[in-house]
């Protein structure tokens, strides 16, 4: 057994997510990253679909894919992810300039970002129907 293996075997295991109580800041951080990845994938698919539509000389059959229920639900979910990522990003911008680091303000701004994202998503869905 090498010396490094012996040293590593005696170190305590770092705590993981199962040990900590979920807090709004940690949950929002995880969802901010997840929505960022989802938006990257979603916009890539959207760009691919629009490219196919353009190169098909604006064939209405390709455009009518948007009328399928699954596609509509995916677009609405993507809009929800976009508005959540936007509102939470604005929250992070305030943190970058040093505003909102206290725990009460962090909790209030977290709930405000969630509520604002939900309202913007509902407004977007109403407008687009």
Residue 65's pLDDT is 83
* Rounded distance between C-alpha atoms, residue 72 and residue 78, angstroms: 10
Task: Provide φ and ψ at 115, rounded to 5°.
Answer: -65, -45
CATH of span 24-128:
1.20.1300.10
* Rounded distance between C-alpha atoms, residue 90 and residue 97, angstroms: 11
Residue 33's pLDDT is 95
What is the SS3 assignment for 78?
Answer: helix
Residue 15's pLDDT is 67
Which residues contact residue 76 at a Cβ distance below 8 angstroms, ignoring those fewer than 6 apart?
121, 125
The pTM assigned to this predicted structure is: 0.79
* Rounded distance between C-alpha atoms, residue 128 and residue 45, angstroms: 20
pLDDT in tens, the chain (129 residues): 555 666 666 666 666 666 778 888 889 999 999 999 999 999 999 999 889 888 888 888 877 888 889 989 999 999 999 999 999 999 999 999 999 889 899 999 999 999 999 999 999 999 988
């Amino acid at each position: 057994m090498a010396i490094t293996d012996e040293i590593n075997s005696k170190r305590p295991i770092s705590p993981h997510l199962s040990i900590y109580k979920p807090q709004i800041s940690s949950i929002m951080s995880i969802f901010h990253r997840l929505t960022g990845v989802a938006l990257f994938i979603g916009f890539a698919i959207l760009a691919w679909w629009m490219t196919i539509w353009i190169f098909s000389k604006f064939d209405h059959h390709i455009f009518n894919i948007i009328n399928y229920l699954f596609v509509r639900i995916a677009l609405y979910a993507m809009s929800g992810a976009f508005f959540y990522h936007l509102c939470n990003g604005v929250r992070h911008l305030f943190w970058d300039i040093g505003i909102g680091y206290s725990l009460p303000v962090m909790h209030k701004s977290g709930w405000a970002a969630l509520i604002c994202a939900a309202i913007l998503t509902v407004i977007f869905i109403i407008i687009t129907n």
